[in-house]
Amino acid sequence: MNALQKLQEFLGDPNNQIGKVVDFDATKDSLFPFNFTASNTDLTPEILADTELFSRWVDKQLSEHGATYGIGGYNEHRTIYSRSGHFDTVTEPRRLHLGVDIWGPAGTSIYNFYEAKVHSFEFNDNFGDYGATIILEYQLGELTLFGLYGHLNLASLKDLNEGQIIAAGKQFARFGVKEENGYWPPHLHFQLMFDMEGLRGDYPGVCQFSKRERYLENCPDPTQVLSATFGVTV
């Protein structure tokens, strides 16, 4: 049984209780699926170049659709990374998103979906980067799984220690403002990895399209976990 099969088996067992990542009441709250591919012509270069304009655009979409959060992005080939040289390489720019983004207000609480220990954390302070970042290590039966939480507020890193146990259901972080989150509209980048490949406090959240198969094999779809938060498959 490979890692993905072990994850699916664990998540499919009703005896294994997976908790929420953010507050959400499926009886009254709703989600708006964002599209950040080239087909979304509303996102002009002028909006993407200005974090304040980009943030107002995100807020407007959520307001107009009566949505509590915006969501999406796994395995999405995105144009929005053209706003930052952080994603450019000599041979091929990085544009394929490896996690799920949950867009909402700065200060939004983030909860641990299952007991874990702190693997590592870092303030990745490049324009377009994660900003404040926490990586948790989960033991799901026989499977070791890592969860990356990016674009947090800096207070989330205060008094944190590697190896520290974070209880299931504990509120341990919050969405950061642009000065703390890599200069993005407030949101959470939530990503799963089977192998950290020796990295600490960071792992690529965006890859070159030519490396898509390799990275998606190591980074399973996070919506498998988030369905417990939102009550539906997202």
Lowest mean pLDDT among 89-103, 110-124, 191-205: 89-103
Residue 94: CA count within 13 A, CB half-sphere: 15
89 — pLDDT class (breaks 50, 70, 90) = low
Any residues with CB less than 8 A from the CB of 229 and at least 6 apart, and which? 19, 20, 21, 22, 24, 113
Rounded-to-integer distance, Cα 80 and Cα 49, Å: 9
Q: For the whole prediction, is pTM greater than 0.85?
A: yes
CA nearest to 220, candidates 114, 80, 98, 37: 98
- Quote the pLDDT of residue 234: 58
Kindly tell me if the per-residue pLDDT of 84 is higher than 50: no
Q: Which residues pair with 103 in a beta bridge?
A: 70, 187
pLDDT digits (tens, 9 = 90+) for 165-224: 999 999 999 999 999 999 999 999 999 999 999 999 999 999 988 898 999 999 999 999
> What are the structural domains of the chain?
3-11+19-230 (2.70.70.10)
Rounded-to-integer distance, Cα 211 and Cα 233, Å: 27
pLDDT digits (tens, 9 = 90+) for 216-228: 999 999 999 999 8
Q: How many CB atoms lie within 10 A of CB 80?
A: 22
Residue 178 is which amino acid?
K
pLDDT digits (tens, 9 = 90+) for 129-170: 999 999 999 999 999 999 999 999 999 999 999 999 999 999
Place of tokens 């407007």: 60
- Token reading at 127: 């324009």
